[in-house]
Structure 1
Amino acid sequence: MTSLLDIRGLKAEIDGRQILNGLDLTVNKGEIHAIMGPNGAGKSTLSYVLSGKPGYEITGGEVRFNGEDLLAMAPDERAAKGLFLAFQYPLEIPGVATLTFLRTALNAQRKKRGEEELSSPDVLKRVRELAKQLGIDPDMLKRPLNVGFSGGEKKRNETLQMALLEPRLCVLDETDSGLDIDALRIVADGVNRLRASDRGMIVITHYQRLLDYIVPDVVHVLAAGRIVKTGGKELALELEATGYAQYQSEAA
């Protein structure tokens, strides 16, 4: 299998506090990896470090994305290369219509890759098709980005962004946070549509219930800044039953 993401000995800190402690992870093309763990384990930090969020200092290790040094790239370069982060709490941008945001994001990536920008009618057509698949009301596209959206609408909107941008690696940071069961199903269905032989996904979650809908190939337990156990989807069920206490003591 061809490795899409290869993390070796990754160490990272914020405000002088070390969060990642020599993390190793390999995601091959076509695979979905779930990362589970207690609060404070470093799950969100991993997603922020991969996306290039400012404020995190890398103190050791390396990250290769499609064979290239990810940590040497600026955040917009990482996005253009095909990295997408779905936030736990998507940002609200008053005054910017959702459709305008989507068109700008898509064309900024195309321009960065040296591709021709798409016309507004072409973008609108593509967005409407994807919105229909995700059960998104067309009126939502005219509203300011995420302003006044419910939790489910925000996550559906992010899934729409992901479908439009067609990334190589999708990192979903607790995408099930704040979703009722109906919204969870719709979002999971949108994510499952994006499964592809040349695309990888990292699904970060506290709870096994998301993995009933997005079935992972591999499940990892992250504790104290490193992966302490790896298994199949049955590991998620075991965690649901026994909790994380044993892994926190192992990592200490």
Structure 2
Amino acid sequence: MSTLVITDLHADVITEEGDKPILNGVNLTINPGEIHAIMGPNGSGKSTMAYAIAGHPKYKITSGSVKLDGVELTDLTVDERARAGLFLAMQYPVEVPGVSVANFLRTAKTALAGQAPKVRHWVKDVESALGRMQLDKTFAGRSVNEGFSGGEKKRHEIAQLELLNPKAAILDETDSGLDIDALKVVSEGVNRYAGQGDRAVVLITHYTRILRYIEPTVVHVFVDGKVVETGGRELADKLEAEGYESYVRANAAAGV
């Protein structure tokens, strides 16, 4: 089972001018089979939370805890966090020139599993995963994210999710830059992963449109580096209608 528990998490972003506090006490528990949607305005710290949990070197956890199935992730290196079962789909996937998608995926699977997958089965698995993302066979021979459209990058991320099948996935604005057709394909991939019933999903987004295709278990409003309200799907509908301004004003008035 895959439970992700974030407790009183504080983190800074490292800049040339010095460390800047961003996360101000995040508390979340994502149980197996749950999809938690994190919604909030630009600059509220949603992506910082994702990168800090994953171990990005530009983000420093200053206090708090992140546990996946009881394992403290903050004590681990980035690769150790991945082997512990954590997956991050990035808002802006990076290009890796000269490394083919096929080699990248097989290397990643080998690193996580501790042994290389059998070639015959693996090739079929990759072709199937890419096919479900509406990416043809030639896609596997292309350099990772080099020259990819925004939709191809995001669909490739979800193909990785399916093939690596981690315990918990943090999806950082997976809907960003997608047209309606790509959004549906990506959403179907997320639903297949979450539908296993024992996986935890954190879905970071600004908008409710992806939530038309992915049903969240819980919706959180994220402002100034912390969760300020939690509710069900109706909370997302409220945000769609009213925006985040009232939460921003209330947080500022509280002086927190």
TM-score by length of 2: 0.94
State how many pairs are aligned: 247
* Per-residue deviation, 1:55: 2.1
Alignment map for 1:21-32 (pairs within 5 Å)? 21-32=24-35
Partner of 1:226: 226
Partner of 2:102: 99
SS in 2 for 1:194: helix
Partner of 1:179: 178
SS in 1 for 2:161: helix
SS in 2 for 1:251: helix
Alignment map for 1:116-195 (pairs within 5 Å)? 116-195=115-194
TM-score by length of 1: 0.95
Output one character per residue of 1:31-90: Cα deviation in whole Å (capped at 9) or x when no partner. 000000001110000000111111222222111111111100111011111110001111
Runs (5+) with no aligned partner, structure 1? none
Partners in 1 of 2:8 and 2:83 — Cα distance? Answer: 25
1:66 aligns with 2:65: no
**Matched letter for residue 149 of structure 1:** F
**Matched letter for residue 193 of structure 1:** R
1:210 aligns with 2:210: yes
Runs (5+) with no aligned partner, structure 2? none
Partners in 2 of 1:136 and 1:61 — Cα distance? Answer: 40
**Matched letter for residue 187 of structure 1:** V
Partner of 1:242: 242
Output one character per residue of 1:215-241: Cα deviation in whole Å (capped at 9) or x when no partner. 100000000011000000111110011
SS in 1 for 2:197: coil
Selected match of 1:43 from 36, 42, 46: 46
Identity between Structure 1 and Structure 2 (%): 51
Output one character per residue of 1:159-185: Cα deviation in whole Å (capped at 9) or x when no partner. 111100001101100011111111111
**Matched letter for residue 223 of structure 1:** V
SS in 2 for 1:198: coil
